[in-house]
Structure 1
């Protein structure tokens, strides 16, 4: 972990209210000029990739007590999602008009502009989900689109689709862990795909247990299930196999009680869910400008954090779980009219202190 995050990270506040006073803010001159749509940590280095509506993916290096710009990847479209290969050498982003922007960083000079593969437009509509995975000891890429398809790419031939599936509706969110790929679509459909089997078949399809539109899906660290977040301020925990259905549950989050009435609450979208790489605990973040850490096995909130001053649009834990990154920018939850030039655009790094993200004592991880 970078020296920047060592100071004061030995212990966490004892209450369930978390401390954001030591969170590090990325310098304004390094930030995107428009809303941040997605972020992803490298699995091999302290590199953080950030996709934004100003049509670029920026990669930051956290090293030696500072945050520095490492690469900038220009995109001809708005990148809606971004992902790293397992060896940390490749990065891909999905555009809002159907293009994929792919870069092999091992061939790029650090500190400058990285050029993506041009004219790779495999989808007929925006790409909202993108994930690397390993199959047959090779790098593969999965892309999910508003054109209602998920396509799979073997990097021995990057511009030829090897396999694909047709989804029930437009892809809104997608995540993978090990051989598990989960695809959440419009109309609350969720497809579960086993990446170890044929890539042209769906293992199972379920209806989201949440009543309103799905916003985000995120796989458990051990790949036994996934979490779903919706626009209604709820999160659901779902296991893949039928034998574990008794462990499924949902809970309210990202809601604010109206001070004038106990019967009225303001409801906010759950925009991001991220699992800790080692502890199996997870975070939720939303339009209310707060994030929380949870222990799903104990059904317990570990920490809740104060309002950060704007909607949180994307989150992620670093490879060792010691840094939690979160992006603050307009999330379009109130439509075009609510966006303005004074809305904050920030990228912050929270040092994960002490037992902040550890499961409750005596709790067995599933």
Structure 2
């Protein structure tokens, strides 16, 4: 079911280029929510009408819609919400659809005209925000953890297609022009690949797809030959995989886990691969290090030589960090928010970094008590950060050093 929320119609008023140019940056959040040092210590914009439950993913609109920016959030209370982000940092609700169960992932069609969402109801839906039409375009036998759209400029010959990866241990490819058939073998998918375990993480960039599964296995695919993995290895990290993000030049990908570390894995020159600590909190002299999961990792979208090495991570410690993998430095560390960060995403040109806080269950019931102590209106906040040039560029003369020795 599709409904509207907020005051704007689907894809309504236009905006001007740029973001965060208002002189009141951070003085009030979008929608009139006042900033304070507890809720918003980084003085970022707040998305209006935030979800009522924890965010499972954030997705910005593709480059085809620039200079306009839209952002989609999927949530554990079955919703897919869409906002337009204006150049002064304010946001306006555009629309909302509901699934029959928690929604785990979303992705945009490359031309920005459709949004695909998938989750625990074991289907992927295609939503047209301009008309509010919703169609089911994919089926699985278990919850769908990730979805991706392979578009016209991917380098893959033939028609664009949809990819879905599920806890039923399969990766499937779909022709969105052909209605799926749940009674048919594979639901009517164009192709199906058996995975070694349940899909926990996936990213697609051009013709490269990387999938991480529950047994710490990592498979990558050349989507010009999509039915056979081009490579496979065990994750360099010791514990459960949380997230994968492919760098813009497609030479490597970042992988994160629950152990507070992130790995950089090169596909060809594997000698360049390494791992580093990024979300571990030092408790002080004689104190024990607090290890938190790296819930999110996202590579910067630019292929410019001085920006292709940039990535951002976020975790259970409530912090967002921006890194340069070539220089092996942290170029920006955000102040800690009151809850874990559960979703993170750069927009198409890298001028905005969105992050959402909520509860990730990494601390069990005791952590949930902390979550409940936060006022309900602030528990599932989505922040929009205007990315500054000095936060993403690393120069040998003034680059910030790692947090401590031995970080990398």
User: Gapped runs of 5+ residues in structure 2?
Assistant: 1-15, 26-39, 181-187, 398-408
User: Gapped runs of 5+ residues in structure 1?
Assistant: 11-18, 109-113
Q: Does 1:69 align with 2:69?
A: no
**Shift of residue 336 of structure 1?**
5.6
**Shift of residue 318 of structure 1?**
1.0
Q: Does 1:36 align with 2:58?
A: no
Partner of 2:165: 144
CA distance in 2, matches of 1:297, 1:212: 25
Alignment of 1:1-366 (within 5 A): 5-7=20-22, 21-27=42-48, 30-43=49-62, 44=65, 45-65=68-88, 66-106=90-130, 108=131, 114-118=132-136, 122-134=139-151, 135-136=156-157, 138-159=159-180, 160-197=188-225, 199-241=226-268, 244-261=269-286, 264-278=288-302, 279-280=307-308, 281-335=310-364, 338-339=367-368, 341-343=372-374, 344-360=379-395
Superposed CA RMSD in Å reads 2.2
Distance 1:196 1:8, change over 3 A: farther
**Shift of residue 157 of structure 1?**
1.3
| TM-score scaled by length of structure 2 | 0.79
CA contact (8 A) 1:57 1:73 kept: yes
Secondary structure at the residue paired with 2:135?
Answer: coil
CA distance in 1, matches of 2:54, 2:318: 14
Q: Name the count of aligned residue pairs.
A: 341
Q: Map Cα deviations across residues 120-160 of structure 1 (whole Å, 9 max, x no partner).
A: 56111111111111243532111011111110112231423
CA distance in 2, matches of 1:207, 1:225: 15
CA distance in 2, matches of 1:335, 1:104: 38
CA contact (8 A) 2:19 2:386 kept: no
CA distance in 1, matches of 2:171, 2:274: 28
Partner of 1:16: none
| TM-score scaled by length of structure 1 | 0.88
Higher relative contact order, structure no. (Cα contacts within 8 Å, ≥ 6 residues apart): 1
**Shift of residue 337 of structure 1?**
6.4
Secondary structure at the residue paired with 2:196?
Answer: coil
**Shift of residue 334 of structure 1?**
2.6
Secondary structure at the residue paired with 1:356?
Answer: helix
CA contact (8 A) 1:22 1:351 kept: no
Tell me which protein shows more strand as a share of its residues. 1
